[in-house]
Amino acid sequence: MSIIEELQALQVGGVADAQAAPDLATLEAVRVGYLGKKGSLTAILRGLGGLTAEERPAVGKVANEIRAAMEAAIDVRGRELEAKALEARVSAEAVDVTLPGRRRTPGRVHLIDQVVREVTDIFVGLGYRVAEGPEAELDYYNFTALNTPPDHPARSLADTFYIRDLSGEEATVAGESDVLLRTHTSPVQVRVMEAQVPPIYAIMPGRVYRRDIADPSHLPQFNQIEGLVVDEGITFGDLKGTLEHFVREVFGADRRTRIRPHFFPFTEPSAEVDVSCGICAGHGCRFCKSSGWLEILGCGMVDPNVFGHVGIDPAVYSGFAFGMGAERIAALRYDIPDLRVLIEGDMRFLRQF
Protein backbone atom coordinates (compact mmCIF):
# COMPACT_ATOMS: atom_id res chain seq x y z
CA MET A 1 0.00 0.00 0.00
CA SER A 2 1.34 3.44 -0.93
CA ILE A 3 1.50 6.03 1.80
CA ILE A 4 -1.37 7.90 0.09
CA GLU A 5 -3.54 4.78 0.19
CA GLU A 6 -2.59 4.25 3.80
CA LEU A 7 -3.67 7.81 4.57
CA GLN A 8 -6.95 7.43 2.72
CA ALA A 9 -7.75 4.20 4.60
CA LEU A 10 -6.98 6.00 7.84
CA GLN A 11 -9.40 8.78 6.89
CA VAL A 12 -12.21 6.32 6.16
CA GLY A 13 -11.69 4.58 9.50
CA GLY A 14 -11.25 7.81 11.45
CA VAL A 15 -14.35 9.52 10.07
CA ALA A 16 -16.41 6.37 10.67
CA ASP A 17 -15.14 6.10 14.27
CA ALA A 18 -15.98 9.75 14.92
CA GLN A 19 -19.48 9.40 13.50
CA ALA A 20 -20.09 6.26 15.56
CA ALA A 21 -18.90 7.72 18.91
CA PRO A 22 -21.82 7.30 21.33
CA ASP A 23 -20.74 10.06 23.72
CA LEU A 24 -18.32 12.96 24.14
CA ALA A 25 -15.75 10.91 26.09
CA THR A 26 -15.52 8.29 23.34
CA LEU A 27 -15.27 11.04 20.71
CA GLU A 28 -12.34 12.59 22.58
CA ALA A 29 -10.67 9.14 22.70
CA VAL A 30 -11.12 8.91 18.89
CA ARG A 31 -9.51 12.34 18.42
CA VAL A 32 -6.56 11.47 20.60
CA GLY A 33 -6.22 8.07 18.84
CA TYR A 34 -5.86 9.66 15.39
CA LEU A 35 -4.75 13.25 15.83
CA GLY A 36 -3.07 13.27 19.24
CA LYS A 37 0.74 13.38 19.77
CA LYS A 38 0.87 9.59 19.67
CA GLY A 39 -2.06 9.30 17.21
CA SER A 40 -1.96 7.20 14.04
CA LEU A 41 -2.17 10.17 11.62
CA THR A 42 0.59 11.91 13.53
CA ALA A 43 2.73 8.76 13.27
CA ILE A 44 2.29 8.63 9.49
CA LEU A 45 3.11 12.32 9.12
CA ARG A 46 6.31 11.77 11.11
CA GLY A 47 7.28 9.20 8.48
CA LEU A 48 7.17 11.91 5.76
CA GLY A 49 10.85 12.59 6.47
CA GLY A 50 11.73 9.41 4.60
CA LEU A 51 10.09 10.63 1.34
CA THR A 52 11.83 12.29 -1.55
CA ALA A 53 11.52 16.03 -2.07
CA GLU A 54 9.23 15.41 -5.12
CA GLU A 55 6.87 13.08 -3.24
CA ARG A 56 6.59 15.22 -0.10
CA PRO A 57 4.30 18.11 -1.28
CA ALA A 58 1.62 15.78 -2.70
CA VAL A 59 1.62 13.50 0.34
CA GLY A 60 1.71 16.51 2.65
CA LYS A 61 -1.30 18.00 0.89
CA VAL A 62 -3.32 14.78 1.21
CA ALA A 63 -2.29 14.45 4.85
CA ASN A 64 -3.47 17.98 5.62
CA GLU A 65 -6.76 17.39 3.82
CA ILE A 66 -7.28 14.23 5.83
CA ARG A 67 -6.52 16.01 9.10
CA ALA A 68 -9.00 18.75 8.13
CA ALA A 69 -11.64 16.17 7.14
CA MET A 70 -11.22 14.30 10.42
CA GLU A 71 -11.30 17.47 12.48
CA ALA A 72 -14.48 18.47 10.69
CA ALA A 73 -16.07 15.04 11.34
CA ILE A 74 -15.12 15.20 15.03
CA ASP A 75 -16.45 18.74 15.26
CA VAL A 76 -19.79 17.79 13.67
CA ARG A 77 -20.18 14.73 15.91
CA GLY A 78 -19.20 16.81 18.95
CA ARG A 79 -22.01 19.29 18.27
CA GLU A 80 -24.48 16.45 17.75
CA LEU A 81 -23.51 14.84 21.06
CA GLU A 82 -23.62 18.15 22.94
CA ALA A 83 -27.10 18.85 21.56
CA LYS A 84 -28.21 15.34 22.59
CA ALA A 85 -26.79 15.80 26.11
CA LEU A 86 -28.53 19.16 26.47
CA GLU A 87 -31.82 17.71 25.30
CA ALA A 88 -31.52 14.85 27.80
CA ARG A 89 -30.82 17.28 30.62
CA VAL A 90 -33.67 19.60 29.68
CA SER A 91 -36.16 16.74 29.52
CA ALA A 92 -34.89 15.32 32.84
CA GLU A 93 -35.23 18.70 34.54
CA ALA A 94 -38.51 19.60 32.87
CA VAL A 95 -41.20 21.19 35.00
CA ASP A 96 -44.82 20.85 34.00
CA VAL A 97 -46.00 24.38 34.55
CA THR A 98 -49.59 23.35 33.91
CA LEU A 99 -49.72 21.16 37.07
CA PRO A 100 -51.78 22.69 39.89
CA GLY A 101 -49.68 24.23 42.71
CA ARG A 102 -49.42 22.78 46.22
CA ARG A 103 -51.81 24.44 48.64
CA ARG A 104 -50.03 25.84 51.70
CA THR A 105 -52.14 26.13 54.81
CA PRO A 106 -50.79 28.87 57.04
CA GLY A 107 -50.79 28.03 60.76
CA ARG A 108 -52.91 30.06 63.12
CA VAL A 109 -53.34 30.65 66.81
CA HIS A 110 -55.44 27.92 68.45
CA LEU A 111 -58.89 29.00 69.63
CA ILE A 112 -57.89 28.45 73.28
CA ASP A 113 -54.91 30.78 72.92
CA GLN A 114 -57.03 33.31 71.02
CA VAL A 115 -59.35 33.45 74.04
CA VAL A 116 -56.46 33.56 76.55
CA ARG A 117 -54.90 36.47 74.65
CA GLU A 118 -58.18 38.33 74.21
CA VAL A 119 -59.15 38.05 77.89
CA THR A 120 -55.63 38.98 78.99
CA ASP A 121 -55.70 42.01 76.66
CA ILE A 122 -58.97 43.27 78.14
CA PHE A 123 -57.32 43.48 81.57
CA VAL A 124 -54.06 44.84 80.19
CA GLY A 125 -56.29 47.58 78.74
CA LEU A 126 -57.42 48.34 82.32
CA GLY A 127 -53.79 48.68 83.45
CA TYR A 128 -53.21 45.15 84.81
CA ARG A 129 -49.76 43.52 84.51
CA VAL A 130 -49.40 39.94 83.24
CA ALA A 131 -47.76 37.58 85.77
CA GLU A 132 -46.60 33.98 85.34
CA GLY A 133 -45.34 31.24 87.61
CA PRO A 134 -44.28 27.56 87.67
CA GLU A 135 -46.66 24.77 86.65
CA ALA A 136 -44.93 22.39 89.07
CA GLU A 137 -45.70 24.20 92.29
CA LEU A 138 -45.19 23.82 96.02
CA ASP A 139 -48.12 22.67 98.12
CA TYR A 140 -47.64 25.84 100.19
CA TYR A 141 -48.38 28.23 97.29
CA ASN A 142 -51.12 26.11 95.73
CA PHE A 143 -53.08 25.38 98.95
CA THR A 144 -51.71 26.49 102.32
CA ALA A 145 -51.19 30.17 101.51
CA LEU A 146 -54.63 30.18 99.91
CA ASN A 147 -56.33 29.32 103.18
CA THR A 148 -57.07 25.76 102.05
CA PRO A 149 -57.03 23.48 105.12
CA PRO A 150 -54.98 20.24 105.23
CA ASP A 151 -58.09 18.07 105.01
CA HIS A 152 -59.70 19.98 102.13
CA PRO A 153 -60.92 17.57 99.40
CA ALA A 154 -59.09 19.51 96.65
CA ARG A 155 -55.83 18.35 98.24
CA SER A 156 -56.71 14.69 97.92
CA LEU A 157 -54.80 12.31 95.67
CA ALA A 158 -58.05 11.82 93.78
CA ASP A 159 -58.16 15.49 92.73
CA THR A 160 -54.56 16.68 92.46
CA PHE A 161 -51.49 15.38 90.62
CA TYR A 162 -48.61 15.11 93.09
CA ILE A 163 -45.05 14.86 91.79
CA ARG A 164 -42.88 12.18 93.31
CA ASP A 165 -39.12 12.80 93.50
CA LEU A 166 -37.53 9.45 92.62
CA SER A 167 -34.24 10.45 94.29
CA GLY A 168 -35.97 9.85 97.64
CA GLU A 169 -34.90 13.27 98.87
CA GLU A 170 -38.23 15.00 98.38
CA ALA A 171 -39.67 17.43 100.87
CA THR A 172 -42.93 16.07 102.21
CA VAL A 173 -46.03 17.38 103.94
CA ALA A 174 -47.35 14.76 106.37
CA GLY A 175 -45.66 12.02 104.36
CA GLU A 176 -47.10 13.25 101.05
CA SER A 177 -45.19 14.93 98.24
CA ASP A 178 -44.72 18.66 98.69
CA VAL A 179 -44.64 19.26 94.92
CA LEU A 180 -47.68 19.13 92.68
CA LEU A 181 -49.02 20.29 89.34
CA ARG A 182 -50.80 23.51 90.20
CA THR A 183 -54.59 23.12 90.24
CA HIS A 184 -55.17 26.84 89.61
CA THR A 185 -53.06 29.90 88.80
CA SER A 186 -53.74 31.36 92.25
CA PRO A 187 -50.22 30.43 93.52
CA VAL A 188 -48.92 33.01 91.04
CA GLN A 189 -50.94 35.69 92.87
CA VAL A 190 -49.40 34.59 96.17
CA ARG A 191 -45.92 34.91 94.64
CA VAL A 192 -46.81 38.35 93.21
CA MET A 193 -48.04 39.53 96.63
CA GLU A 194 -44.87 38.22 98.32
CA ALA A 195 -42.68 40.06 95.83
CA GLN A 196 -44.54 43.37 95.40
CA VAL A 197 -46.19 45.96 97.56
CA PRO A 198 -49.69 47.21 96.70
CA PRO A 199 -51.17 48.64 94.59
CA ILE A 200 -51.32 45.35 92.65
CA TYR A 201 -53.35 44.97 89.45
CA ALA A 202 -52.35 41.65 87.89
CA ILE A 203 -53.72 39.08 85.41
CA MET A 204 -52.37 35.51 85.33
CA PRO A 205 -53.05 33.24 82.39
CA GLY A 206 -51.63 29.72 82.61
CA ARG A 207 -52.03 25.96 82.30
CA VAL A 208 -53.43 24.11 85.29
CA TYR A 209 -53.97 20.42 86.07
CA ARG A 210 -56.70 18.49 87.84
CA ARG A 211 -57.16 14.79 88.28
CA ASP A 212 -60.42 14.70 86.30
CA ILE A 213 -61.55 12.36 83.55
CA ALA A 214 -62.24 14.38 80.40
CA ASP A 215 -65.96 14.85 79.79
CA PRO A 216 -68.05 17.55 78.07
CA SER A 217 -67.35 20.08 80.83
CA HIS A 218 -64.01 18.91 82.31
CA LEU A 219 -60.45 18.54 81.03
CA PRO A 220 -57.58 17.22 83.16
CA GLN A 221 -55.40 20.03 81.81
CA PHE A 222 -56.82 23.42 80.95
CA ASN A 223 -56.02 27.12 80.83
CA GLN A 224 -57.06 29.38 83.62
CA ILE A 225 -57.07 33.13 83.69
CA GLU A 226 -57.13 34.73 87.11
CA GLY A 227 -57.01 38.32 88.17
CA LEU A 228 -55.99 40.02 91.40
CA VAL A 229 -56.39 43.57 92.60
CA VAL A 230 -55.00 44.77 95.94
CA ASP A 231 -55.20 48.44 96.79
CA GLU A 232 -56.52 50.80 99.44
CA GLY A 233 -60.32 51.01 99.55
CA ILE A 234 -61.13 48.23 97.05
CA THR A 235 -64.77 47.15 97.41
CA PHE A 236 -67.11 44.49 96.12
CA GLY A 237 -68.55 47.24 93.89
CA ASP A 238 -65.16 47.54 92.16
CA LEU A 239 -65.22 43.79 91.56
CA LYS A 240 -68.73 43.92 90.07
CA GLY A 241 -67.96 46.87 87.82
CA THR A 242 -64.74 45.29 86.58
CA LEU A 243 -66.39 41.97 85.75
CA GLU A 244 -69.40 43.59 84.07
CA HIS A 245 -66.99 45.48 81.80
CA PHE A 246 -65.16 42.23 81.08
CA VAL A 247 -68.36 40.31 80.21
CA ARG A 248 -69.52 43.06 77.84
CA GLU A 249 -66.14 43.02 76.07
CA VAL A 250 -66.11 39.25 75.60
CA PHE A 251 -69.77 38.43 75.05
CA GLY A 252 -71.21 41.71 73.72
CA ALA A 253 -73.32 44.51 75.22
CA ASP A 254 -76.63 42.69 74.71
CA ARG A 255 -75.82 39.94 77.24
CA ARG A 256 -76.89 40.32 80.88
CA THR A 257 -74.90 39.24 83.93
CA ARG A 258 -75.89 38.07 87.38
CA ILE A 259 -73.86 37.34 90.48
CA ARG A 260 -74.65 34.56 92.98
CA PRO A 261 -73.13 33.82 96.40
CA HIS A 262 -70.63 30.96 96.47
CA PHE A 263 -67.77 29.67 98.60
CA PHE A 264 -64.01 29.58 97.98
CA PRO A 265 -61.42 29.14 100.77
CA PHE A 266 -59.35 32.10 99.47
CA THR A 267 -62.11 34.72 99.09
CA GLU A 268 -64.75 36.05 101.50
CA PRO A 269 -67.39 36.82 100.43
CA SER A 270 -67.22 34.68 97.28
CA ALA A 271 -69.49 34.64 94.25
CA GLU A 272 -70.06 33.15 90.84
CA VAL A 273 -70.93 35.22 87.77
CA ASP A 274 -73.36 34.03 85.09
CA VAL A 275 -73.99 35.47 81.65
CA SER A 276 -77.40 35.21 79.97
CA CYS A 277 -77.59 32.32 77.51
CA GLY A 278 -76.72 33.46 73.98
CA ILE A 279 -78.72 30.69 72.33
CA CYS A 280 -82.14 31.30 73.92
CA ALA A 281 -81.51 34.89 75.10
CA GLY A 282 -82.31 33.79 78.64
CA HIS A 283 -85.59 32.02 77.91
CA GLY A 284 -84.21 28.55 78.66
CA CYS A 285 -82.86 25.90 76.30
CA ARG A 286 -80.78 22.70 76.36
CA PHE A 287 -77.48 24.60 76.22
CA CYS A 288 -78.24 26.48 79.48
CA LYS A 289 -80.12 23.53 80.97
CA SER A 290 -83.37 25.53 80.90
CA SER A 291 -82.00 28.12 83.36
CA GLY A 292 -81.34 30.92 80.87
CA TRP A 293 -77.91 31.46 82.48
CA LEU A 294 -74.37 30.19 81.88
CA GLU A 295 -71.74 30.19 84.64
CA ILE A 296 -68.56 31.90 83.45
CA LEU A 297 -66.36 32.69 86.43
CA GLY A 298 -65.76 32.67 90.17
CA CYS A 299 -64.68 35.66 92.23
CA GLY A 300 -64.59 37.28 95.64
CA MET A 301 -62.86 39.63 98.05
CA VAL A 302 -59.42 38.33 99.07
CA ASP A 303 -59.72 36.56 102.45
CA PRO A 304 -57.78 38.36 105.23
CA ASN A 305 -56.14 35.00 106.08
CA VAL A 306 -54.53 35.02 102.62
CA PHE A 307 -53.18 38.53 103.24
CA GLY A 308 -51.77 37.21 106.54
CA HIS A 309 -49.61 34.65 104.68
CA VAL A 310 -47.99 37.30 102.45
CA GLY A 311 -47.58 40.08 104.98
CA ILE A 312 -50.14 42.53 103.59
CA ASP A 313 -52.01 44.46 106.30
CA PRO A 314 -55.78 43.86 105.83
CA ALA A 315 -56.48 46.94 107.93
CA VAL A 316 -54.87 49.07 105.20
CA TYR A 317 -55.54 47.10 102.03
CA SER A 318 -58.39 45.14 100.55
CA GLY A 319 -58.65 43.33 97.25
CA PHE A 320 -60.65 41.20 94.91
CA ALA A 321 -59.79 38.16 92.81
CA PHE A 322 -61.50 36.25 90.06
CA GLY A 323 -60.83 33.13 88.02
CA MET A 324 -62.14 31.53 84.86
CA GLY A 325 -61.39 28.62 82.52
CA ALA A 326 -60.38 29.79 79.03
CA GLU A 327 -61.79 26.61 77.45
CA ARG A 328 -65.14 27.21 79.11
CA ILE A 329 -65.22 30.85 77.92
CA ALA A 330 -64.41 29.67 74.36
CA ALA A 331 -67.14 27.01 74.53
CA LEU A 332 -69.78 29.46 75.78
CA ARG A 333 -68.88 32.12 73.26
CA TYR A 334 -68.85 29.79 70.24
CA ASP A 335 -71.63 27.40 71.38
CA ILE A 336 -69.27 24.40 71.61
CA PRO A 337 -71.16 21.71 73.54
CA ASP A 338 -68.12 19.55 74.48
CA LEU A 339 -64.74 20.90 75.71
CA ARG A 340 -62.95 17.81 74.43
CA VAL A 341 -63.16 18.91 70.77
CA LEU A 342 -60.90 21.85 71.73
CA ILE A 343 -57.97 19.53 72.35
CA GLU A 344 -58.57 16.77 69.82
CA GLY A 345 -56.77 18.58 66.97
CA ASP A 346 -59.43 17.74 64.37
CA MET A 347 -58.77 20.17 61.49
CA ARG A 348 -62.45 20.24 60.49
CA PHE A 349 -63.13 21.84 63.87
CA LEU A 350 -60.00 24.03 64.16
CA ARG A 351 -60.38 25.54 60.69
CA GLN A 352 -63.63 27.22 61.77
CA PHE A 353 -61.80 29.70 64.02
By the criterion CB under 6 A, which residues form the site for ligand 2U9?
184, 186, 189-190, 224, 226, 228, 264, 266-267, 297-300, 302, 306, 321-325
In the complex with ligand 2U9, which residue's Cβ is closer, 71 or 113? 113
* Nearest-CB residue for ligand 2U9: 298
In the complex with ligand 2U9, which residue's Cβ is closer, 67 or 328? 328
Q: How far is the CB of 221 from ligand 2U9 (least distance, A)?
A: 12
Q: How far is the CB of 103 from ligand 2U9 (least distance, A)?
A: 38
In the complex with ligand 2U9, which residue's Cβ is closer, 282 or 325? 325
In the complex with ligand 2U9, which residue's Cβ is closer, 34 or 222? 222
Q: Which of 216, 220, 192 is nearest to 208 (CA)?
A: 220
Q: How far is the CB of 157 from ligand 2U9 (least distance, A)?
A: 19
In residues, how long is the chain? Answer: 353
In the complex with ligand 2U9, which residue's Cβ is closer, 18 or 324? 324
In the complex with ligand 2U9, which residue's Cβ is closer, 292 or 300? 300
In the complex with ligand 2U9, which residue's Cβ is closer, 73 or 302? 302
How do strand 267-276 and strand 257-264 relate by DSSP bridges?
A: antiparallel
Q: How far is the CB of 285 from ligand 2U9 (least distance, A)?
A: 22
Is 224:185 a contact under the CB 8 Å cutoff? yes
Q: How far is the CB of 334 from ligand 2U9 (least distance, A)?
A: 18
In the complex with ligand 2U9, which residue's Cβ is closer, 21 or 219? 219
Q: How far is the CB of 167 from ligand 2U9 (least distance, A)?
A: 31
